[in-house]
Amino acid sequence: MFCGFTYLGLLTGNDVTSATTKLSKEEDDNFLDCFSFAMDGASLVVVWTSMHDDMSKYAGAEFESALKEVQDNCIRKWEAINMFRYVLSSVNYSWAIKSHSLDLLLTLVDDKCSEETNDHVDFPCSTQIFAILKAIERVMIAAPDTLMRKKAFSALKRVISVVPSTQRFDILQALIENSMFPSLTAILLDLVKNEVLRESRRADQVNGSDRSQDSGESPPWASQVLELVELILRPPEGGPPCLRDHSEEVLSALNLLRLILIIDSRGSRSAKMLRDEKIRAVYSEWLLPLRSVVTGIQSELEKDGGDDENQMACLLNPVQLVLHRCIELVEEKMKGL
């Protein structure tokens, strides 16, 4: 308060931006380098206030008021979300501080705000959204205990849920394409599947209430989702995926493909997402090579009976089940070609 800062200004980073802008007009760039951790400091002040009872009592009603204003204002909320990346992405802060940062983030982005997003509001650019989600991903991957990793996953889902629908698939695609961990890729593909299901239900509701809205065109997300499935089932480096190392993401990709095939077989959208050429490519270039890999691994497992083989068999069984279902759905569609 002595510096003229407010908890709202620290939560959103606006006070720090105003202060550094003022300094930049009065001092040279070398002087501004002294304040390179100012955003970290703003975020830490807020986290410390929420962590410690004596700090919370000192802040009093102003802190609670700042939290409520951020919760109730979409732009303020995104400004606050963006601030968390400074602490969550840094190796300089303890896991305890990061855990409390996630608690505060979950408080600001509660379940009630998931559907309030307005695509006409001026949201932060995709790079800012991508940066905070990557920071949360780091905690998911590296956190030392299961509860904190689950908390980070909850935060990831909450933040994605308030991304404007026009950007959501773009953001998820960028996260998947930049993922270095098969298990994380699988989680992200499951989130894509949830989004596809939500968009499909929304389209069904619109078409159910107004038949004139059903143009029979492929939904805008279809090509992106198919690209993601192809990225996993037909990797850019060539050949089918390595099931021993990537069974989780392969299973998630197959589940996503199965959902697309089911949606595509319904109503007037039938054969719109998967044109004749595409359905043939899915069959001959994605599914059949993968079936050959599965058959080959099964033969190897039948010869050996060690613990590693038994573990691989457990990983392979759900992949085989969903793969066969996808092949059945594709073969059914190919009968009408």
Model pLDDT for residues 194-227, shown as the tens digit of each residue: 999 998 888 777 766 655 555 567 788 888 999 9
Q: What is the pLDDT of residue 269?
A: 47
Same domain, 146 and 281: no
pLDDT at 117 over 70: no
Query: For residue 266, is it left (φ>0), alpha (ψ between -120 and 50) or beta?
Result: beta
Number of domains in the chain: 2
Q: Is residue 210 part of a domain?
A: no
Q: Is the pLDDT of residue 55 over 50?
A: yes
- How many percent of the chain have pLDDT more than 90? 55
Do both 190 and 76 map to the same domain? no
Domain range for 92 is 1-109+126-163
State whether 275 and 288 are in the same domain: yes
Domain-located, residue 253: yes
List Cβ neighbours of 123 (8 Å cut-off, separation of 6 or more).
78, 129, 163, 164, 167
The alpha carbon torsion through 69, 75, 80, 85 (nearest 10 deg) reads 170
Q: Domain for residue 116, yes or no?
A: no
State whether 318 and 176 are in the same domain. yes
Instruction: State pLDDT tens for residues 179-190.
Output: 999 999 999 999
Statement: residue 305 has pLDDT above 90: no
Residue of 90, 175, 159 whose CA lies nearest to 123: 159
pLDDT tens digits, residue range 224-234?
999 999 999 99
User: Within this chain, do residues 223 and 157 fall inside the same structural domain, yes or no?
Assistant: no
- The per-residue pLDDT for range 2-18, each reduced to its tens digit, is 778 999 999 999 999 99
